[in-house]
Amino acid sequence: MTPQPDPHPPGGHAPGWLPPTPAQTVGPFFGYALPFTGGGHIAGHGDPDTITVHGRVFDGASGPVPDALVEIWQADRDGCLAGAPGSLRHDQVTSEVVGRDGTAFTGFGRVPTDADGHWAVRTVAPGPHRPGATPYLAVAVFARGLLRHLYTRVYLPERADHVRADFPDLPAERLDTLLAVRERAGLYRFDIRLQGERETVFFDFC
């Protein structure tokens, strides 16, 4: 349908703005369309200082969500947000997606959860995107049963004090859901709980 100006713009938006297309669930069958080769390999080839961030997605009964899609968007280690194109680079002979070339930093990752609800990306720890900012990985979560995707953030535990200062009103047990847990050097755990006990903090951008 051709967009018509919104007669009742929400939130005091200027009249005449177009109303957005509504969201719909990603459904159960995105697996042959959206995931791509190397989707979790955000760091370049041979990067000497990568980190792996991994975790599981859980539902409100603490069961794994095997049909979720986790997307990451982040700055590079210098805090630069000008991610290069080429995450879904194609082979020109077969038209298959072969993934990024391993040199340009695209800042974008996309991984489906496995049958146990697990996902992982190998990337670099982002730098501050402006002086004094606390760096993080921006996360979008899609799943069957989720009518509209959710946003959260992965903060690394080395910055926990800054994160607390950034969210002074957030109770400690809520704040903890935004902090990855260091398992060993370079390996961080970040579980996403869609509902219930220790439910992950999700964001709404105003």
Partner 1 sequence: MRPPTPLTGEPTQRDIDAAMAEADRRPPPDPDHPDRDYPPYRSSALRHPKQAPLPVVDPEAVELTGPVFGVTDVSALDNDLTLGQTGEPAGQRITITGRVLDRTGRPLAGQLVEIWQANAAGRYAHDLDQHPAPLDPNFTGSGRCLTDSDGEYNFTTIRPGAYPWRNHLNAWRPAHIHFSLFGTAFTQRMVTQMYFPGDPLFPYDPVLRSVTDQSARDRLVAVYDHDLSLPEWTLGYRWDIVLGGPARTLFEDR
Q: Which does 171 bind (CB under 5 to 8 A by kind): partner 1, Fe ion, none?
A: none
Nearer Cβ to partner 1, position 34 or 165? 34
Residue bearing tokens 């082979």: 91
Q: Least Å distance between CB 184 and partner 1? A: 26
Tokens encoding 167: 């969210």
Site string for partner 1, 20-59 (x = CB under 8 A): xxxxxxxxxxxxxxx------------------------x
Instruction: Count the neighbouring beta carbons within 10 Å of the beta carbon of residue 180.
Output: 22
CA 182 to chain centre: 18
Site string for Fe ion, 110-129 (x = CB under 5 A): --------------------
Q: How far apart are the first and last CA of the chain?
A: 27
Distance CA 75, CA 138 (A): 9
Strand (E) or helix (H) holding 56: strand 51-58
Strand (E) or helix (H) holding 174: helix 172-175
CA 93 to chain centre: 31
Site for Fe ion in 2-31 (CB under 5 A): 27
Site for partner 1 in 73-112 (CB under 8 A): 73-75, 81-90, 92, 95, 106-108
Site for partner 1 in 138-167 (CB under 8 A): 138, 140, 142-151, 167
Nearer Cβ to partner 1, position 120 or 140? 140
Tokens encoding 56: 């599981």
Q: Least Å distance between CB 67 and partner 1? A: 8
Q: Which residues lie near Fe ion (CB under 5 A)?
A: 27
